[in-house]
Structure 1
Amino acid sequence: MIPDGPTRFHGIYPSTVLPMRGADFAPDWDAYARHTAHCLLRPGIAGVLMNGHAGENFVISRAEKRRAVEVAVTTVGASRIVVAGVNAESSLEAAAEARDARAAGADAIMVFLPNGFALAQTTEMALLHHRTILAAVPGMPVFLFAAHHAAGRMAFTPETLDALLDIPEVVGIKEGSWEVDRYDALRRQAKAKRPEVAVCASGDEHLLACMVHGSDGSLVSLADLLPDEIVALDAAVRAGDLPRARTLHETLEPLAEAIYGDPPAGRATARLKFCLAEMGVIPDPAVRPPQPPVRDAEAATLRAALRATGL
């Protein structure tokens, strides 16, 4: 449910994983409901982002994405904002996913750019992709996704961002560039043109730095593991209590680095699932191929980080 007021999309949104069974990689919907409740039904959590990168949105089917929204909506009811990720190479397929999300009860969508945009992207392409999707769900609120600085040409240029901000349905931005300077530049540009748009910091290892620059919340998978601490970090920065914020950062940082910072890149979902299984939140850490499971040295690093963080 979307609350009223100018800050209705502000806040902390855990970006959930989709638990699976290792025997056949089928979604475990009961475990998904428990995982969603575990990180969402807490004070200070504004909503959920499902079917994002942490939810393996590039390897799950359209039917599975719709079912994920249905389970999340059933789990949280009208108590939280439900944001459904839309991710497809074809704008027409992405539009169908958006229709599914709305029909399943999502309050808003987040549009992920096609992976092909890493090779080439123009402002016209980005606008056509977003407008094709939104034509399928008129009036539905949409979050933009600002891509990683190393994702080739997928990141928005200032010209492309300016054009996308002309779309009235845009209500928020998940800033995932993973560079604090780029984050602040995007934040300044968005706030100058559309001050009501929620610019949300999403670099898990440097949430503190981004929040100090200014942030309207965060859509992050680290909140799957440490939702209360991230809510507290956001509150401390807003209150100007930097000693408290730095203390919370020191609590979060070992696990954030182990999940997102340690090479090789692209292992966050497998590591998140491993940690959730170690904590007893989900029964199986399985990830779909081509991602391999966590093993050996990687597992030891994550266990040490869980201990250091107090989990």
Structure 2
Amino acid sequence: MTPRESHGGLYAATICPMRDNGALDHASLERHVAAVLADPGQRGLLLNGHAGEGIFLSRAEQAEVVRIARQTAGGKRILAAVSAEATAIAAADAQAAISAGADGVMVFAPFSWALGADARSIVAHHRGIAAAVGGAPLYLFQGSVGSGLGYKPEVLKALLEIDAVAGIKEGSWEVKSFETTRRIARALRPEVAVMASGDEHLYTCFVLGSDGSAVSLSALVPESISALDAHVLNGDHAAALAIHEKLFGLAKLVYAAPGHLAAARLKACLAALGRIDTPACRAPTPRIEPAEADRLLAALRPCLEAA
């Protein structure tokens, strides 16, 4: 069994619909999950990540998102992100997610590590979470270059010594670093799935041999991501490049600085399409201004036709 077949594939990093008062919008979440998974190319979901505003959710809310998604997703795989700073809190969040129906957990680097993290702390944090979920698959998140949240090769090698590690969301946002991560994993743990997560260069990573993807654009245009993947696998690079050209323009706008507005931008698009009731995010994240929303929708329309 290949890494793609075992723990890889295409995962949509979903958003978390909310009401104007910040409460979870259960009905919109059910519709959102159903719409994303209506695309047969999506193997599953990544919940409570950056796009899902997981850092703004309580443990009970994170678990509620997983429970609702599990009821809607049927047999599709569900990965739940954990982002807490303290290992004990992250471990408890991971346990709650597994109990609620997640198939595995993805460990996001605490934002404080952007200031510099000791390698021993990084490894101990992941080991603590792995122990807490008792053998459930653990996914690493390789952060973007320059953020301070990307793991250096020696740290990545140490993390791959954790038996529970089954996959890596490769979000370095740089093709060279994607290649480095992939080569390290192939050498040390060839069964570990390395999944591209740089929305602007998915095409390049797919060509290099990604084991799937875990991107939030799949929460908005899942069919385009699936089609891009399928065209590369089938060797139809002209068709793949045509989709890439459209996705590139949309990704540049969604993930533009300041990056913390990506979830709000995705919600603005989804609300405009009628897939969620409101574009509300949890405070202090503001809504997207009308002029920016218009630019997003203009870039989105070609992608809806790309598949």
Task: Give the TM interval when normalised to the shorter protein.
Answer: over 0.9
Q: Which residue does 2:96 correspond to in 1?
A: 100
Contact 1:54 1:221 (8 Å CA) reproduced: yes
Alpha-carbon distance in 2 for matches of 1:159, 1:123? 9
Cα deviation, 1:63-106, whole Å, max 9, x if unaligned, reads 1000001001111122x111011110110000100110111111
Unaligned 5+ segments in structure 2 are none
Mark the CA change 1:5 to 1:73 in structure 2 (over 3 Å): closer, same or farther.
farther
Report the TM-score when normalising by structure 2: 0.96
Q: Which residue does 2:198 correspond to in 1?
A: 203
- SS at structure 2 position matched to 1:200: strand
Alpha-carbon distance in 1 for matches of 2:185, 2:203? 20
Contact 1:48 1:81 (8 Å CA) reproduced: yes
Which structure 2 residues correspond to residues 52-131 of structure 1 after superposition, within 5 A? Answer: 52-78=49-75, 80-131=76-127
Q: Which residue does 1:140 correspond to in 2?
A: 136
Contact 2:33 2:69 (8 Å CA) reproduced: yes
Contact 1:41 1:76 (8 Å CA) reproduced: no
Contact 2:171 2:197 (8 Å CA) reproduced: yes
Alpha-carbon distance in 2 for matches of 1:64, 1:200? 27
Contact 1:273 1:286 (8 Å CA) reproduced: yes
Q: Which residue does 1:15 correspond to in 2?
A: 13
1:248 shift after superposition: 1.4
Task: Identify the match of residue 178 of structure 1 among 159, 173, 196.
Answer: 173
- SS at structure 1 position matched to 2:106: strand
Task: Identify the match of residue 222 of structure 1 among 214, 217, 224.
Answer: 217
Contact 2:195 2:212 (8 Å CA) reproduced: yes
Q: How many residues get paired?
A: 304
Q: Which residue does 1:44 correspond to in 2?
A: 41
Q: Which residue does 1:291 correspond to in 2?
A: 285
Identity %: 48
Alpha-carbon distance in 2 for matches of 1:12, 1:296? 32
Q: Which residue does 1:258 correspond to in 2?
A: 253
Alpha-carbon distance in 1 for matches of 2:41, 2:249? 23
- SS at structure 2 position matched to 1:283: coil
Alpha-carbon distance in 2 for matches of 1:268, 1:185? 26
Q: Does 2:147 correspond to 1:151? A: yes
Contact 2:11 2:46 (8 Å CA) reproduced: yes
1:307 shift after superposition: 2.9
Alpha-carbon distance in 2 for matches of 1:137, 1:225? 30
Alpha-carbon distance in 1 for matches of 2:125, 2:135? 16
Unaligned 5+ segments in structure 1 are none
1:5 shift after superposition: 6.9
Q: Which residue does 1:27 correspond to in 2?
A: 24
1:251 shift after superposition: 2.8
1:308 shift after superposition: 3.5
Alpha-carbon distance in 2 for matches of 1:219, 1:110? 11
Alpha-carbon distance in 2 for matches of 1:308, 1:71? 31
Alpha-carbon distance in 2 for matches of 1:213, 1:285? 36
Alpha-carbon distance in 2 for matches of 1:197, 1:304? 38
Q: Which residue does 1:241 correspond to in 2?
A: 236
Report the TM-score when normalising by structure 1: 0.94
Q: Which amino acid aligns with 1:37?
A: A
Q: Which amino acid aligns with 2:44?
A: G
Alpha-carbon distance in 2 for matches of 1:158, 1:83? 25
**Which ranges of 4 or more aligned residues in structure 1 deviate by more than 4 Å?**
none
Mark the CA change 1:5 to 1:299 in structure 2 (over 3 Å): closer, same or farther.
closer
1:265 shift after superposition: 2.7
1:42 shift after superposition: 2.3
Contact 1:122 1:160 (8 Å CA) reproduced: no
Q: Which amino acid aligns with 1:180?
A: V
Cα deviation, 1:236-278, whole Å, max 9, x if unaligned, reads 1112211111111123222222211x33332210000000001
Q: What's the RMSD between the two structures over aligned residues?
A: 1.4
Q: Which residue does 1:162 correspond to in 2?
A: 157
1:118 shift after superposition: 0.9
Q: Which amino acid aligns with 2:202?
A: L
Q: Which amino acid aligns with 1:63?
A: A
Q: Which residue does 2:302 correspond to in 1?
A: 308
Alpha-carbon distance in 2 for matches of 1:309, 1:201? 19
Q: Which amino acid aligns with 2:253?
A: A
Q: Which residue does 1:269 correspond to in 2?
A: 263
Q: Does 2:189 correspond to 1:194? A: yes
